[in-house]
Amino acid sequence: MTLKELNIINFKNIAEATLTFTSGFNCFVGNNGVGKTNVLDAIYHLSMCKSYFNLPDLQNIRHEEPFFVVQGKYERGGEELTVYCGVKRGQKKVFKKNQKAYDKLSEHIGLIPLVMISPEDFILIDGGSEERRKLVDGIISQCDRVYLHRLIRYNKALTQRNMLLKSAAGKFLDPEMLEVWNEQLAEHGEAIRQKRIAFLKEFRSVFQTYYERLSLGREEVCLEYKPSVKEGNFLTALKQAADRDRLLTYTTVGIHRDDLVLNIGDYAVRKIGSQGQKKTFLIALKLAQYHWLHQMSEVKPLLLLDDIFDKLDADRVEQIVKIVGGEMFGQVFITDTNRGHIDDILRAQAVDYKLFTVTGGEIS
């Protein structure tokens, strides 16, 4: 997968830009806050139909402008693709592939596999379980449309069940309606849990391999899936929790409460990890995500690296560039504040790269 050209109009602080890329490394350099990350977010938007930073669409429109447009021209397995995203105030988002609009945005997910690594990823370690579930769900959904559709149906059923619980606060609760949502949650929830468990069995060893390479074998790491309900007891657990759920007016059991435990040795990385260890952990997670997506889709995903060299020692930086410059990986987009630094790193590894300078939303 290669992004050949990117067109941007009124996206965040970028008024207008037309950029052509090399199939190797594409580097955006400039001071903090000038728009480097916004370029990566525009690329992310074209793959995942949303901002990496979970901003509402209207907040991505440049200040006081009526709309934004992001368009990319790609090559995927010898096929030319054009993907268009347009958002106008007061209107529905328009998303097109080769000039044909999608009926549902979910139809696009997985067409352009992509992995982004950002300072925002620390929330995976320091944040709540929802962030770690999103990571797992996002990886699987890019390669498994059945899983994505089950996840959508589960979340719709969860919303309906919670609405029923809220509407019944202090009033009559229709047991038949509750049973309808219980059955849907149990059906889709059990299938989602089994897929997550199977995924982690494959993913764990890939992650451990990348962490070992980045850390030069200094620490042992582990990923463990922590379900909130025992296997086979999903429907029973929902029924048993009915009184508590009614009191609290939300659903307290299900796959939306599961977690991914992240450890260095026997201890949670969020408790004992240094900033460098946490960053290495996150980068290894994302490189393993890239590896898995490549294996499943037989397409090399796009790799976006946002300011990842900060707080890493020279050995780990060298290992990262060696890995992503290898045969397994494809097109890479990097941001950095120091042009000399990024020049030195990439020249040392003798990789093909192109530099862009970003200043106040202008790219040259």
Residue that the structure tokens 């849907």 belong to? 184
Q: Is 30 annotated as a binding residue?
A: yes
End-to-end CA distance of the chain: 24
CA 60 – CA 89 distance, rounded (Å) = 11
| Separate counts of helices (H) and strands (E) for the chain | 11, 15
> From the centroid of its chain, how far is CA 130?
13
The dihedral over CA atoms of 54, 60, 63, 64, expressed in degrees to the nearest 10, equals: -120
| Helix intervals (H) in the chain | 36-48, 123-126, 129-141, 145-167, 175-215, 234-240, 242-248, 269-272, 275-297, 314-324, 339-348
Per the rule left: phi > 0, alpha: psi between -120 and 50, beta: everything else, 317 is alpha
Q: Is 87 annotated as a binding residue?
A: no
Q: Is 311 annotated as a binding residue?
A: no
Amino acid in position 340 = G
Q: Is 34 annotated as a binding residue?
A: yes
Q: Is 72 annotated as a binding residue?
A: no
Residues 6 or more apart whose Cβ sits within 8 Å of residue 220: 208, 264, 265
Q: Is 326 annotated as a binding residue?
A: no
> From the centroid of its chain, how far is CA 350?
29
**Residues annotated in a binding site for ATP:** 30-37
**Residues annotated in a binding site:** 30-37
